[in-house]
Copies of this chain bind each other. A is one copy, B any other.
């Protein structure tokens, strides 16, 4: 089976790497960014092109949601399976006469960070049993957690991930901004951050909540608001309001 990955960003890089590490040969990595493609191509020993899309059985489009539709039009072949890796878009966004599908890896990808692919949940959606089987077999070589998902469900999986990952990372950014401003090493907070995550393996997050908002400690909440401004103050107020609503305070 000939497989082509389209894209040169974080997802494309890690998907390609996951395939290669699991001895699934890739026919090509195709994209616009020659510099990035060249780097991936050299590291993974996979041919790349910015111009001539190779004939293949499966095309995996790993580009940002904004570009999927445009990129999907490059594939003019009909007898092939095309899949995208978006958490939120329908497989119908793929604009061609080929068979359409979705293969969503639930993970956050940064090029410079190594990853254990075997634990990543993959969610598969396809038009027919045969295409499902192709994607299940491919993804199962990478990960032990491959599941089916409808588009409707996948949207909520992605939304949950935005809260549990993207927003959490942004809180780390804002936290570091505060500690940096006082020359407090961010390292101090790593045991706390680890424990915050370790807890949810044992306790429901709702039962694990600590801090001034859930104690309804107005003095501390006011004191903290005086130390903050702009976006961090807005986050502080919004999060505390949400905490107090959740616990009926």
Contact = CB atoms under 8 A, between A and B. Distances in A.
Interface in A38-74: 64-66
A24 interface: no
B65 A212 contact: yes
A164 B171 contact: yes
Interface string A191-232: 111111111111111111111111101011001100110111
A168 B193 contact: yes
Nearest to A10: B210
B212 A162 contact: yes
A128 interface: no
Contacts of A175: 160-161, 163-164
A20 interface: no
Nearest to A216: B66
Given A156-B182, A175-B164, A176-B205, A106 B188 contact: yes
A209 B65 contact: no
Interface of A, helix, strand, loop or mixed by DSSP: helix
A193 B107 CA distance: 9
A184 interface: yes
A2 interface: no
Given A227-B159, A242-B174, A120 B168 contact: no
A140 interface: no
B113 A203 contact: yes
B178 A163 contact: yes
A23 interface: no
A76 interface: no
B108 A217 contact: no
Interface string A100-120: 000000111110110100011
Interface of A: 10, 64-66, 88-89, 106-110, 112-113, 115, 119-121, 145, 153, 155-176, 178-179, 181-182, 184, 188-215, 217, 219-220, 223-224, 227-228, 230-232, 234-236, 238-239, 241-243, 245-246
